[in-house]
Amino acid sequence: MAKQYETVIGLEVHVELATKTKIFCGCSTAFGGAPNTHTCPVCTGMPGSLPVLNKQVVEYAAAVGLATNCEITKHCKFDRKNYFYPDNPQNYQISQLYLPICRNGHVDIELADGTTKSVRIHEIHMEEDAGKLIHDDWEDVSYVDFNRSGVPLIEIVSEPDMRSAEEVIAYLEKLRLIIQYLGASDCKLQEGSMRADVNLSVREVGSSEFGTRTETKNLNSFSAIARAIEAERDRQIDLIESGEPVIQETRRWDDNKAYSYAMRSKEDAQDYRYFPDPDLVPLNISDEWLDEIRSRQPEFKTEKMKRYSEEFGIPEYDINIITDSKKLADIFEATTALCNQPKKVSNWILGETMRILKEKEMEPEDITFSPENLAKLIKLVEAGTINGSVAKDIFAVIFDEDVDPESYVKEKGLAQVSDEGELRAVVEKVIADNPQSVADYRNGKDKAIGFLVGQTMKAMKGKANPGLVNKILKELL
Amino acid sequence: MGLLDLTAAELAGQIKAGKTTAVEAMEAVIANIDSKEKELNCYVTFDREAALSAAREAQKKIEAGELDGPLAGVPVAIKDNMCTKDVLTTCSSKILGNFVPQFSSDAVERIKAAGAVMIGKTNMDEFAMGSTTETSAYGATKNPWNTQHVPGGSSGGSAAAVAAGECFCALGSDTGGSIRQPASYCGVVGMKPTYGTVSRYGLIAYGSSLDQIGPLCKDVTDCAVIMEVMAGHDPKDSTSVERKDTDFTSALVNDVTGMRIGIPRDYFGDGLDPQVKKAVLDAAEVLRSKGAVVEEFDLSLVEYAIPAYYTIAAAEASSNLERFDGVKYGYRAKDYEGLHSMYKKTRSEGFGAEVKRRIMLGSFVLSSGYYDAYYLKALRVKAMIKKAFDEAFSKYDVILGPVAPTTAPELGSSLADPIKMYLGDIYTISVNLAGLPGMSVPCGKDENGLPIGVQLIGDCFNEKKLIQTAYTYEQARGKFE
């Protein structure tokens, strides 16, 4: 009988924090500036410059720690991780090794079979991001852009508690949701504001010892993570089955080729010569400060679900989808507060909003329209000013440009026509022009009326009150 | 009496009174530089036109009433490890041979705001690593008292410039004695303030937890004036301390009645030159005669200070100096193949032997498997030394001892034996390890006419007691010639 293997996985997750300025200087963390425009002597490693800690980084890191049940290290320090690379202007990265800000936490994940599992968090530490190298193959030179240098990161290190890709993704989704609810990061894998490295080993089922692990990097989506886990598991089992050793190494995943290759083995692992950064004083997190951070913790998904069910009475299904994104939950709450129509708001979110997001391959976090305009749109439909199909068209414009639907309706003349005289004239013309359909209807083909309604709407450019059109048609026929 | 005989404070007074001008003062300094600099080599960068035009500018502002700080119009020299905007800053190293900073260090900004006019950048041991100013990539500086001898280091250029009248006062930095020892060798007053008193922003780091900027000057009054100007909290330096007691000139009081002065027996053992010993103990007698209570005590742990210091300073230096890699600024080797070859060649060619020695030492003590045995142990020794001083300061206001075991050695006699050179730091480095303020005041000369300094050490934030003691001693001693 073939041997049965178990996959053992731990994750190192880097999250870019949503602070306005960098971790050790006042430079902007905004994306997209021209190279080296968000820089200063500190984040370009100029001689004589010194780091000064951004307190917001500590607050975000501690907030994530509290939300993941960690112990907060009240007296923590920053250490220098020394290694030479041109994207690292000082040739050391300021990070935390000896006294990370958070330790010994856990998050509970829900699995498809309805069970829950606790994944332990070894530690969370704060550190600075590096710059970016841009290679010019034509000129055979490399340039460095320090705009990202000094952008704050937290690294969340789990224990090797996961056993499958499903668990890994459930864990990552849970982390992402917590961090998004905290507003600590937008956690976009594609853009690199959340990055996961997978430490994986396999062992025979029943064994209590761990196998040799590898670390896989460059995983830019949940699906890539799932594929990389399957591939690495298979690769290691193949090695073991053929009697070859698994080498402890760092591997890089190429998602297009669905293949990973070795970057460096443990033998050429560098000695980072960590030591406490003498330019930064030890950080003391007082009880008062921690209480303040704790008091600002938001309502997370579980509490929100409970409250929505009690307060808004919308279906469990709707609540689950809405609360799966901080952004959607925010839009739902703000819009409902303005129009007091929770079910209608939920319908717009679950329906048109999700449809357009999918169509445009966007995440809820990319939404830019305001709750005010959605609320106005709902009110316009409610008041009969516009009909449902026009509302969908207007919503598409709101989604893209966040237009004010009231002025948009006026400007484009989209208000619903409910003037019976005007409609009757159009309906009369449609009846005259379509004798065959009229005959069909009169011969008992009820469906034919649908065609006549459609022709009327078309003649009215979609603005006709559909109820009224139906009524007039039936009268005249 | 010529202009060059004036102290910085006296000169500022005369300029303010309209008796002389910033331009005349600068011209006098430049004339002196012209006659002495070729032999002494105090400066790495000296731009006479820039210095003169800065003096003219200052004079205009003084006359317009826009500049009336305590150093208004005074020509000042800056050690070449402090960043000066648009002015070459080399740390006396080949690797920064073309480095022009984008900003000035906080200490430089402060003395400029007080009216100081920069003459130039003074020579030093490369990256402040050395005790003789001989490790400079730009030639050794000579001791103005005897040019066959070193001026001390690492702030040797600053000390020699003050002693030779090539400036009225100078800024130095002190990581293990780099202000106090050259001050002693050159017969000038030097102070290393309590760690955190003067901002390190813009000081190119050697040992970050030990480095402090301080003044080298002609007398104690100048020292107090400059300290008052430079001290102050700087939000750009996380290790900068907020303190309100920086009115150092208020301590220029000629009275030590009841001042408790402790003399550590451990500082007067083997290796101390008898002439130095006599001069230092004579200074203690002077203070006793002025009413101080002087007694001997055992400080302990002195022999552990040197290994602890060279472990910690080298560890920090090995990391601090990583940024000099040929990528962003400074020297880059000409011929290389690929990134690692560029790093290797740039750093091999750009750094001198002493710097490389300390980088290797520092890298070793931080490497995995040795960190606990060396670096952590050194930090524990550092904490114990601080504790020993805390105990001493529960009994004494000031600790008095020698600055260095000998007077200035001859040129070329130190570098051949680095261990011997390191041992010469024995009396100064514990002060840095414990973060204390320390001061060197001229107290005599040896048989060859080379100056001897007495060291005064105070508890953290007690610079005023040092200034008061030094001032009282200086009044009793008279002019040092």
Structure tokens at B212: 């402090």
Report the percentage of chain A scoring pLDDT > 90: 76
- Asked whether the bond before B154 is cis by omega within 30 degrees of 0, the reply is yes
For residue B219, give its domain range: 3-252
Tell whether A90 lies on the interface with B, counting CB pairs under 8 A.
yes
Q: Which residues in chain B touch residue A275, judged by CB atoms under 8 angstroms apart?
A: 315-316, 319, 366, 371, 375
In a domain, B114, yes or no: yes
* Residue A133 Cα, gap to closest chain B Cα (Å): 12
Catalytic entry in B104, B131, B136, B154: B154
What is the rounded CA–CA span in Å between residue B432 and residue B452? 21
Q: What string of pLDDT tens digits covers the 481 residues of chain B? A: 689 999 999 999 999 999 999 999 999 999 999 999 999 999 999 999 999 999 999 999 999 999 999 999 999 999 999 999 999 999 999 999 999 999 999 999 999 999 999 999 999 999 999 999 999 999 999 999 999 999 999 999 999 999 999 999 999 999 999 999 999 999 999 999 999 999 999 999 999 999 999 999 999 999 999 999 999 999 999 999 999 999 999 999 999 999 999 999 999 988 899 999 999 999 999 999 999 999 999 999 988 999 999 999 999 999 999 999 999 999 999 999 999 999 999 999 999 999 999 999 999 999 999 999 999 999 999 999 999 999 999 999 999 999 999 999 999 998 888 888 888 899 999 999 999 999 999 999 999 999 999 999 999 999 999 999 999 999 999 999 8
B366 contact partners, CB below 8 Å, separation of at least 6 = A82, A273, A274, A275, B315, B318, B319, B375
What is the rounded CA–CA span in Å between residue A404 and residue B74? 67
On the question of pLDDT at A420 being above 90, the answer is no
pLDDT of A363 reads 87
pLDDT of A1 reads 56
In a domain, B10, yes or no: yes
What is the rounded CA–CA span in Å between residue B161 and residue B146? 14
A218 Rama class: left (phi>0) / alpha (psi -120 to 50) / beta = left
pLDDT of A248 reads 93
Structure tokens at A98: 């000896």
Q: What's the whole-number mean pLDDT along residues A237-254?
A: 94
Rounded to 10°, the helix A448-459/A435-442 angle is 140
Is B465 one of the annotated active-site residues of the chain? no
Catalytic entry in B36, B79, B121, B382: B79
The contact set of B with A (CB < 8 A) is 82-83, 89, 91, 96, 99, 101-103, 105, 200-205, 207-209, 235-239, 315-316, 318-319, 322-325, 327-329, 339, 343, 363, 366-368, 371, 375
Query: Per DSSP, what are the bridge partners of residue A154?
Result: A15, A126
Does the distance separating the beta carbons of A279 and B238 come in below 8 Å? yes
User: Mutating which of A142, A275, A280, A284 best tests the B interface, going by the most B Cβ atoms within 10 A?
Assistant: A275
What is the rounded CA–CA span in Å between residue A398 and residue A395? 5
What is the rounded CA–CA span in Å between residue A174 and residue A108? 8
Tell whether A81 lies on the interface with B, counting CB pairs under 8 A.
no
**Closest chain B residue to A80, measured at CA:** B319
Query: Per DSSP, what are the bridge partners of residue B445?
Result: B451
A116 contact partners, CB below 8 Å, separation of at least 6 = A108, A109, A110
In a domain, B266, yes or no: no
In a domain, B290, yes or no: no
A213 contact partners, CB below 8 Å, separation of at least 6 = A8, A10, A160, A199, A200, A201, A246, A248
Is B154 one of the annotated active-site residues of the chain? yes
Q: How many residues does chain A have?
A: 477
Structure tokens at B374: 């060396």
What is the rounded CA–CA span in Å between residue B319 and residue B363? 8
On the question of pLDDT at A178 being above 70, the answer is yes
Does the distance separating the beta carbons of B205 and A279 come in below 8 Å? yes
pTM to 2 decimals?
Answer: 0.90
Query: Of A102-111, A199-208, A359-368, which gets the smallest average pLDDT?
Result: A359-368
Q: Which residues in chain B touch residue A279, judged by CB atoms under 8 angstroms apart?
A: 205, 208, 238-239
Q: Which residues in chain B touch residue A89, judged by CB atoms under 8 angstroms apart?
A: 323, 328
On the question of pLDDT at A409 being above 90, the answer is no
CB-CB contact of A82 with A272 (8 Å): yes
CB-CB contact of B223 with B437 (8 Å): no
The SS3 call for residue B357 is helix
pLDDT band at A435 (very low <50, low <70, confident <90, very high): confident
Q: What phi and psi, each to the nearest 5 degrees, are found at residue A5?
A: -115, 150
Whose structure tokens read 């800056």? B78
Structure tokens at B348: 């091999």
CB-CB contact of B347 with B325 (8 Å): yes
Catalytic entry in B131, B173, B178, B318: B178
Amino acid at A241: E
What is the rounded CA–CA span in Å between residue B373 and residue B381? 12
Q: Which one has a higher pLDDT value, A201 or A267?
A: A201
CB-CB contact of B222 with B7 (8 Å): yes
pLDDT band at A404 (very low <50, low <70, confident <90, very high): very high
At A261-286, the pLDDT tens digits run 998 776 667 899 999 999 999 999 99
- In total, how many domains does chain B have? 1
Q: What's the whole-number mean pLDDT along residues A198-217?
A: 95
Q: Which one has a higher pLDDT value, B434 or A136?
A: B434
Tally the C-alpha atoms within 13 A of residue A362's C-alpha that lie toward its C-beta: 16
Nearest to B203 among A48, A80, A91 (CB): A48
**Closest chain A residue to B372, measured at CA:** A275
Does the distance separating the beta carbons of B238 and A51 come in below 8 Å? yes
Report the percentage of chain A scoring pLDDT > 70: 99
**Closest chain B residue to A133, measured at CA:** B327
In a domain, B373, yes or no: no
Q: Which domains occur in chain A, in start order?
A: 5-289 (no CATH), 299-412 (no CATH), 420-476 (1.10.10.410)
**Closest chain A residue to B89, measured at CA:** A47
Q: Which residues in chain B touch residue A283, judged by CB atoms under 8 angstroms apart?
A: none
CB-CB contact of B209 with A278 (8 Å): yes
* Interface list for A 34-73 with B (CB within 8 A): 41, 44-53
pLDDT of B244 reads 93
Q: What is the mean pLDDT of chain A?
A: 93
Nearest to A48 among B83, B325, B327 (CB): B83
* Contact pairs from chain A to chain B, CB under 8 Å: 94
Q: What's the whole-number mean pLDDT along residues A176-189?
A: 94
A417 contact partners, CB below 8 Å, separation of at least 6 = A423, A460, A463, A464, A465
What is the rounded CA–CA span in Å between residue A301 and residue A349? 17
At B337-346, the pLDDT tens digits run 999 999 999 9
Tell whether A134 lies on the interface with B, counting CB pairs under 8 A.
no
Q: Which residues in chain B touch residue A80, judged by CB atoms under 8 angstroms apart?
A: 319
In a domain, B282, yes or no: no
Q: Which residues in chain B touch residue A281, judged by CB atoms under 8 angstroms apart?
A: 238-239
Structure tokens at A73: 């290290």
In a domain, B70, yes or no: yes
Query: Per DSSP, what are the bridge partners of residue B149?
Result: B410
Is B178 one of the annotated active-site residues of the chain? yes
> Residue B192: which CATH number?
3.90.1300.10
Q: What's the whole-number mean pLDDT along residues A323-338?
A: 94
Tell whether A86 lies on the interface with B, counting CB pairs under 8 A.
yes
In a domain, B383, yes or no: no
